[in-house]
Structure 1
Amino acid sequence: MFQIGDKIVYPMHGAGVIEDIEEREILGETQQYYVLNLSHSTMQVMVPMEKTSIIGIREVVDPDTLEKALLILHDGEPDDSVNRHQRYHLNMKKMKTGDICESAQVIRDLMFLNKNKKLGTEDKFMLDNARRIFISELILVKGFEEEQAIEFLDNAING
């Protein structure tokens, strides 16, 4: 159970703060929902409390785990034995875990590929989404404003 004020990550959506817990009736069923304000947008998301473990919602990482994820941005290269469809599905699987280290691998691999050739639409969208989610967590862990987080990530990627 999370509490109001907790900083959490909603896989595929990003990090945010629980602003409220509300009870709502939808289709005749009453449930409690976390009201989550995402750190990188003005969007507010309601997440059923009973589904948080199924969805994979977790607390934001600690600074040490963030540092490990930042190191991943420079460690390794993409598996070039997979085609673009396989790569997309592998990257989607990583992103759905909500694990910041998996997101860092997706960013690293796609940035590496982007240096050698222009990314296709799916890869570009995946990279943009992975960066957005990573930045949203960076904002909450480091206390950055969005522009600071973007600059910090860009500096971490480019060394």
Structure 2
Amino acid sequence: MPEFQVGDKTVYPGYGVAEITGIENREISGSQQKFYVLRVLGKDMTLMVPMSNADSVGLRNLVTPEEVDQVYEVLRKRGEKISTATWNRRHREYMDKIRTGDLSKIATVLRDLCLLRSDKDLSYGERNMLEMARGLLVQELALAKEMGEEAIDSEIEAIFA
């Protein structure tokens, strides 16, 4: 389990990149607990996570350069069968992947929806899911590669052009 410090950037599954802005002691049910105070980047949102639960909620470090390469491989991979399940079932499967916080699984969601978009018009829900996956992916890749989000977005668009 990684130990985070104030100022560290971390990933909170489903929310994206957050900065540790503080570590606070709080009394919960009569016992003292330490909490990470997280500010989610790009959103007006602050979260508190008990340090003892950081692992179980999926709080993790940003991806490494090696993991960045794996994410791009997932995006470039073709020939994967896209689920033919109903949209409701696919939506549930995609949300489960996004909630893991695993960038490769999020990349799979983005890839599948981008490929589906080339075959048919996406529904409102599918478009929202695509934008959510893209936002999470672009935000973390930009920080990991020390590039602007626009540049990362352009790289991703080029893969599906």
TM-score after normalising by structure 2: 0.84
Shift of 1:2: 1.7
Partner of 1:119: 122
Provide the C-alpha distance between the structure 1 equivalents of 2:67 and 2:136, rounded to a whole number of angstroms. Answer: 16
Provide the C-alpha distance between the structure 1 equivalents of 2:123 and 2:29, rounded to a whole number of angstroms. Answer: 41
Tell whether 2:36 aligns with 1:34: yes
Shift of 1:47: 2.2
Shift of 1:117: 1.1
Provide the C-alpha distance between the structure 1 equivalents of 2:81 and 2:41, rounded to a whole number of angstroms. Answer: 29
Q: Identity rate of aligned residues, in percent?
A: 35
C-alpha distance after superposition, 1:21-66 (max 9, x if no partner): 1224568765322122333335333222222122111111101111
Provide the C-alpha distance between the structure 1 equivalents of 2:8 and 2:81, rounded to a whole number of angstroms. Answer: 34
Residue segments in structure 2 that go unaligned for 5+ positions in a row = none
Letter in 1 for 2:103: I
Partner of 1:84: 87
Partner of 1:75: 77
Q: How many residues matched?
A: 158
Tell whether 2:156 aligns with 1:153: yes
Provide the C-alpha distance between the structure 2 equivalents of 1:137 and 1:11, rounded to a whole number of angstroms. Answer: 11
Shift of 1:108: 0.2
Provide the C-alpha distance between the structure 1 equivalents of 2:151 and 2:31, rounded to a whole number of angstroms. Answer: 42
Partner of 1:20: 22
C-alpha distance after superposition, 1:99-142 (max 9, x if no partner): 11000000000111111111122222211111111112112201
Shift of 1:68: 0.8
Q: Please, which of 100, 107, 111 is the counterpart of residue 108 of structure 1? A: 111
CA RMSD in angstroms comes to 2.2
TM-score after normalising by structure 1: 0.85
Residue segments in structure 1 that go unaligned for 5+ positions in a row = none
Contact 2:110 2:134 in 1 (8 A): yes
Give the SS at the match of 1:53.
coil
Partner of 1:10: 12
Contact 1:9 1:15 in 2 (8 A): yes
Partner of 2:68: 66
